[in-house]
Each structure stands twice: as structure tokens, then as C-alpha cells.
Amino acid sequence: MTLVQFLDHAAVLVFALTGALVASRAQLDIVGFIFIACLTAVGGGTVRDVILNRDAVFWVTEPTFIALASAAAVLVFFTAHLLESRYRALLWLDACALAVAVPAGVGVAIGMGQPWPIVLIMGVVTGCLGGLMRDVVCNEVPLVLKQGELYVTCAFAGAGAALVVLTLTDEPRFALLACACVVFALRAGSLAFGWSLPVYRSRPPRH
Amino acid sequence: MTLVQFLDHAAVLVFALTGALVASRAQLDIVGFIFIACLTAVGGGTVRDVILNRDAVFWVTEPTFIALASAAAVLVFFTAHLLESRYRALLWLDACALAVAVPAGVGVAIGMGQPWPIVLIMGVVTGCLGGLMRDVVCNEVPLVLKQGELYVTCAFAGAGAALVVLTLTDEPRFALLACACVVFALRAGSLAFGWSLPVYRSRPPRH
Amino acid sequence: MTLVQFLDHAAVLVFALTGALVASRAQLDIVGFIFIACLTAVGGGTVRDVILNRDAVFWVTEPTFIALASAAAVLVFFTAHLLESRYRALLWLDACALAVAVPAGVGVAIGMGQPWPIVLIMGVVTGCLGGLMRDVVCNEVPLVLKQGELYVTCAFAGAGAALVVLTLTDEPRFALLACACVVFALRAGSLAFGWSLPVYRSRPPRH
């Protein structure tokens, strides 16, 4: 199993856990858990593969991805009541998922020899769109829209870090590792310490 | 006309009727009716065809699908006021649409020689995503998220029934027929008698 | 640069401005502005290219589109507070974007030799879906659903006008120009003078 394949599997697993947690907040039945978990788990990668016009979407040629996501959904259905705060677990699992999905997207684009702007975008697309579909369908406030939090920024910075490391070392594995670290560090810093960028305000502050 | 083509046409027609009924609840004009009807009618099949990387999306090569959906929208625009309960009509038409769209998706995947997990998923995708797009765009509570109702479960069970019958008889037509019957029976039972699966609750009941 | 390429660039630029204005209403940070601007700018054209199964999505082969949309987002982030009414600016910029995106979609479909129903649909898809994604993600009431306003109708009429002019003159450039004029005239008339089509009402008026 290559590093990109490992990242793809890890992203599917952890995003499926977040999807199932959102399903638990919507009080769905077990098939609803599986549906939302699969949508979240493969949504971003599917859009990536369709846009890049790959020969096949990654989970169509290897349905173990779907089995993995479904197993995660069943696990959450029977154990989520043991969590103290499902929303807190959701936020941190989503951070982990972002930190593996962004390098997975970056790795696929690098492997196809795409130019750097497309590598950057595919990192963001793979990382952010699955969670965005989950939130839009389940009527949660999308995490990408939370004010005063870093989210798309983490994906963007991580993909950028991968490109820098790749230029310096020409070693894709280091690049993907650096990407994962940057994404997780920024997102964890935002969740734990409130790191953020200035947001738009309709009037600038007086001096 | 093959059975799969018939099912595809029927699914487009009936989903278009549901889309137009949702448009009537949003008080749109006649072009809005046509827009929402077409989105609902071809949404699920389009995602299926794009994911399976078929040579062409089904309605691009045969635009009569769009004509059919538009005609359904115009019909509803002028006659929906005759209905006693538009929401009740919407629910039952949606059940019929689900019962033809799931076997349509299953039939396409079988015809392409896809493995069984993909057949299962394409049944669910073709059946559920058009209605999901309709509800997300029109800001209705998605039917797939209704608590204490079977919806995705019906699609899932129907596609599973098709696979079982196909293994036993090796006759795709019987498989698709069984699929349609299972989907409609489960969905109708849920609407009429309240059949449902246990939903997730944050704390398990005390013993 | 051909006329279709010019229209594609103009549509990306102006839709990006509308996306950034919606981001300003949601008080996002600068990366959020870029994310929503890019989603709005390339959303419709991406769906068009995927459905038509073009060799590559338009912005993948030419990433300047993304640079253009990002620049527009940065510009709005620093200057939107100078606007008197951001919502009014949003509506009128969206009208301009619609008036260039519809002929861009029509032009691509004509260039591929698609039959007229597909040309019509691709005009509507390219014009309306980017803004629809923007509104769904940012939880605004989608412009396509506004009661008593023309929106999809403008796209539809413009694409129809293009087909008529193309039949009469066999000159694609005139057709695209006519399309842009019809779209903008109808949408501007709707915004300025309240032009609209009769909407559906649950009971017809008594006589």
C-alpha cells in the first residue's frame, strides 16, 4: 500500500466517523448513519476524481472504501452515547480527517503530474467538500463558514507547505507528511487556542 | 424499449412531478417549476452516470427526458390546485419515483457488469440524490433525514433484493421487478403504517 | 482570444465578485472569501464540462481562471466597505454575471455541435448553478427561488434567443451577443421595474 492509498483510506475512515456523528445529532436510523457517513467519506475525493477526469472514481474500483465507511457508521451508531460531548468529538475527528484528506488530494494531483495551482486546489477540494456536503445535507452550519476559525485556511496552507517541501527535497513522502502536520497544527491551534485570521467587517475600525 | 429504458423514463416523469409539487409549495413561476422539475428528475441519474464514467449522461444523448420532465412541470403548474393535499401527493409520488428510480440505477450498473457493491450503491444514488437536491435547493427538510421513516432503507433493501433474485434466477428483468416491489412496499408501509427502524438516541434506555 | 473564451473569463470574474460579496455578508476571513468566490465563479462551468464530458474542465487546463477569481475576492475583501448597499451591488453584479455566463455556456455547447435542447440547458446550467451553489452553501435564499422575480427565465430566454439568431444568421458571434443582451435586459427589467411572470397560487382567483 502506497502512502497516498494509506491517506485515502484514513481520510475515508475518519470522515465517515464525523458523518455518523452528525447523523447521531439528527437522530437517524442505522441506514441513515451509513448514508451520511459514506457521503461525507467519499464526497470530496469523488469531486476531485471527476474534475481531474481520472479513469475511475477511487471507490468504484475498490469498494473496500465503502465497507470501511459503513463499518465506521455502525460503530458510531452503537457507541456514540459513550461520548461525553459528541460535538467536541466531531470537531476533533473532523480536524484529523482534514489532516489526512488534504495530503491525499495533493498526492493524487502530484502523481498525475498536475501543475501547482491544481495541486493546491485538489488538496482543498478533497479536504473540504466531503464535510461541506455533510453539513449542507444535514442542515448544520458548515464548518467552512464558522467565523473566527481557521478551516479552509488550514487546507490551503497545508497544500502550500507540500508544494514548498516538494520543491526543496523532490521527495513526495516528505511533502505529504509536512502537509498533514501543517493542516493539523493550524486546525488544532484554531480549536484549542482560538487562532484565526481577521474577518471582514462592514465598516473598518476608527483610528 | 428495454425495461431499463422504461424505468428511466418513468423515474424522470414521476420525479419531475414531485419537483413541480415542491416548486408549487415555494410559489415559483412556470419556468421555476420546469427548473426544479428537471433538477429533481435527472439529478440522481446524472450523478450515477458521471461516477460510472459512462460515455454520455443519459439525458444528453436523448433529450426527450428533458421534454418529459418539462411537460410534467407544466401539467402540475396548471392542475396542482385541484389536489386536496399537495404534501400528501408529494410523499406518495416520491414513493413511486423511488420505486422506479432504484431499479433503473440497479439495471444500468448490472448492464455495465459492475460488482455487487457498486450495483447496490448506484441503486441508492439514482433513487435518493434527485430528491435530495430538490429538498436542499428548495429548503425543505430532506426526506432522507425524516426521523422514524424508512427512506434510504427502502432503496437499500430494494437494491439488495435485486442482487438476491439475480443470483437465484440470472434473469435481470425479475431482479428489477423484485427491486421495484420491495422499494414500494417498504416505503408505502412506512407512510401508511409508520414502519421504521429504531433511531439513535443520545442515551440508551434504562433497564 | 475567442469570444467564448472572453465570455468565460468575464463570467468567472463577475461571479467571483458576487461570491466575495456573499462572503462579506457571512463575515468570513480572506481565505473564506477566496473559497466562496472560486466556488461561485467556476461552479456552473464545471458542471457543464462534466456533463458534456469535455476532455478537461475549463479551469484545470488554464488555472488563470482561479487566479482571476482569487484576485476578485481579495479586491472585494478590502473595498466592499466602500459600497453603500452590498446587497444591491450583489444583485446587479449577479445580473451582469448571468448575462455573460449564459452565452458562455451556449457558446461551448454550440462549439461542440450539440443539439438545440442541450444548448438551451447548458446556457441555463452555466448561468444558474454557480450562484445556486453560492447561495446554498452560504445559506442565503437562492436567487433562483425568489418569488415574483425573473431569474431562470432570463437564462432560458437568452439561450432561446441565441438559437433563433443562430438559425437566422448562422453567425455564432451575433447569437451570443443577442443572448447576453436578452439575459441582461430581462434581469435588469425585473430588478428595476419588477417584471415577473405569474407565480403559482394554491387556489386560483375567484371570478
Whether C51 sits inside 8 A of B63 (CB atoms) is: no
Distance from CA of C152 to the nearest CA of A (A): 23
Q: Is B201 helix (H, G, I), strand (E, B) or coil?
A: coil
**What pLDDT was estimated at residue C199?**
85
Spatial CA neighbour of A21 closest among A91, A103, A125: A91
Tell me if chain B has a CB within 8 Å of the CB of A51: no
Q: With a cut of 50, which residues of chain B have pLDDT below it?
A: 205, 207
Facing residue for A27 by CB, picked from B115, B136, B200: B200
Q: Which three cell numbers stand for residue B65?
A: 427526458
Contacts of A75 (CB under 8 A, 6+ apart): A17, A20
Tell me if chain C has a CB within 8 Å of the CB of B137: yes
Q: Which residue has the higher pLDDT, C40 or C197?
A: C40
Kindly identify which residue of chain B lies nearest to residue C118, measuring between CA atoms: B60
Q: Which three cell numbers stand for residue A73?
A: 457508521
Tell me if chain B has a CB within 8 Å of the CB of C112: no
Distance from CA of C82 to the nearest CA of A (A): 8
Residue C140: how many CB atoms within 10 A of its CB?
A: 15
Chain A residues within an 8 Å CB radius of C32: 144-145, 152, 199
Whether C200 sits inside 8 A of B60 (CB atoms) is: no
Distance from CA of A56 to the nearest CA of B (A): 7
Of chain C, the percentage scoring pLDDT greater than 90 comes to 73
CA atoms within 13 A on the CB side of B26: 29
Q: What backbone torsions phi and psi does residue A197 show, to the nearest 5 degrees? A: -100, 155
Question: What gap in Å lies between CA B166 and CA B179, rounded to an integer?
Answer: 10
pLDDT in tens, C10-31: 999 999 999 999 999 888 999 9
Tell me if chain B has a CB within 8 Å of the CB of C52: yes
**What pLDDT was estimated at residue A183?**
96
Q: Which three cell numbers stand for residue A203?
A: 465598516
Q: Which three cell numbers stand for residue C65?
A: 481562471
Question: What gap in Å lies between CA C39 and CA C66, rounded to an integer?
Answer: 10
Q: Is A205 helix (H, G, I), strand (E, B) or coil?
A: coil
Whether C28 sits inside 8 A of A121 (CB atoms) is: no
Tell me if chain B has a CB within 8 Å of the CB of C118: yes
Whether C197 sits inside 8 A of B23 (CB atoms) is: no
**What pLDDT was estimated at residue A145?**
84
CA atoms within 13 A on the CB side of A6: 7
Spatial CA neighbour of C184 closest among C93, C86, C109: C93
Signed CA dihedral, A94, A95, A100, A106: sign only: positive
Question: What gap in Å lies between CA C118 and CA C121, rounded to an integer?
Answer: 5
Interface mutation vs chain A, best among B49, B122, B145, B146, most A CBs within 10 Å: B145
Contacts of A108 (CB under 8 A, 6+ apart): A4, A48, A49, A52, A54, A122, A126
Q: What backbone torsions phi and psi does residue C23 show, to the nearest 5 degrees? A: -60, -35
Subunits with 3+ C-beta pairs closer than 8 A to A = B, C
Signed CA dihedral, C59, C64, C70, C75: sign only: negative
Interface mutation vs chain C, best among A200, A201, A206, most C CBs within 10 Å: A200
Chain C residues within an 8 Å CB radius of B56: 53
Mean pLDDT over each residue of chain C, to the nearest integer? 91
The confidence band for C203, taking pLDDT boundaries of 50, 70 and 90, is low
Contacts of A131 (CB under 8 A, 6+ apart): A15, A18, A40, A44, A94, A97, A98, A142, A143, A144
Tell me if chain C has a CB within 8 Å of the CB of B18: no
- Per-residue HEC secondary structure of C102-138 comes to HHHHHHHHHHCCCCHHHHHHHHHHHHHHHHHHHHHHC
Q: With a cut of 50, which residues of chain A have pLDDT below it?
A: 205-207
CB B16 within 8 Å of CB B67: no
Distance from CA of B63 to the nearest CA of C (A): 7
**Residue whose entry in the numeric block shows the C-alpha cell 435564499:** C141
Question: What gap in Å lies between CA A205 and CA B41, rounded to an integer?
Answer: 50
Spatial CA neighbour of B57 closest among B38, B72, B73: B38
Question: Based on the number of CB atoms within 10 Å of its own CB, is B86 exposed (0-12), middle (13-18) or buried (19 or more)?
Answer: middle
Question: What gap in Å lies between CA A86 and CA A77, rounded to an integer?
Answer: 12
Q: What angle do CA A108, C34, C45 make, to 5 degrees?
A: 70
Domain segments of chain C as ranges: 3-193
Q: What angle do CA A189, A144, C42 make, to 5 degrees?
A: 135
Whether C24 sits inside 8 A of A202 (CB atoms) is: yes
Whether B51 sits inside 8 A of A50 (CB atoms) is: yes
**What pLDDT was estimated at residue C146?**
84
Whether A197 sits inside 8 A of C56 (CB atoms) is: no
Question: What gap in Å lies between CA C43 and CA C128, rounded to an integer?
Answer: 9
Residue C97: how many CB atoms within 10 A of its CB?
A: 26
Distance from CA of A43 to the nearest CA of B (A): 11
For the CA atoms of B190, B193, B195, B200, the dihedral, rounded to the nearest 10 degrees, stands at 100
**What pLDDT was estimated at residue A87?**
87
Distance from CA of C49 to the nearest CA of A (A): 9
CB C41 within 8 Å of CB A165: no
CB A158 within 8 Å of CB A102: yes
Q: Rg for chain A (alpha carbons), in Å?
A: 17
**What pLDDT was estimated at residue B200?**
83
Spatial CA neighbour of B70 closest among B24, B31, B109: B31
CB C76 within 8 Å of CB C33: yes
CB C175 within 8 Å of CB C106: yes
pLDDT in tens, C189-201: 999 998 988 888 7
Q: What backbone torsions phi and psi does residue C108 show, to the nearest 5 degrees? A: -60, -45
Chain C residues within an 8 Å CB radius of A136: 136-137
Tell me if chain C has a CB within 8 Å of the CB of A117: yes
Q: Is A29 helix (H, G, I), strand (E, B) or coil?
A: strand
**What pLDDT was estimated at residue C198?**
86
Residue B20: how many CB atoms within 10 A of its CB?
A: 33
Question: What gap in Å lies between CA C7 and CA C27, rounded to an integer?
Answer: 30
Tell me if chain C has a CB within 8 Å of the CB of A139: no
Question: What gap in Å lies between CA A4 and CA A130, rounded to an integer?
Answer: 18
Whether B202 sits inside 8 A of A77 (CB atoms) is: no
Q: What backbone torsions phi and psi does residue A199 show, to the nearest 5 degrees? A: -95, 165
Q: What angle do CA A179, A6, A98 make, to 5 degrees?
A: 45
**Residue whose entry in the numeric block shows the C-alpha cell 439561450:** C159
**What pLDDT was estimated at residue A203?**
60
DSSP letter for A199, please.
Answer: B
Complex prediction ipTM: 0.91
Interface mutation vs chain A, best among B199, B201, B206, most A CBs within 10 Å: B199
**What pLDDT was estimated at residue A10?**
94
**What pLDDT was estimated at residue B204?**
52
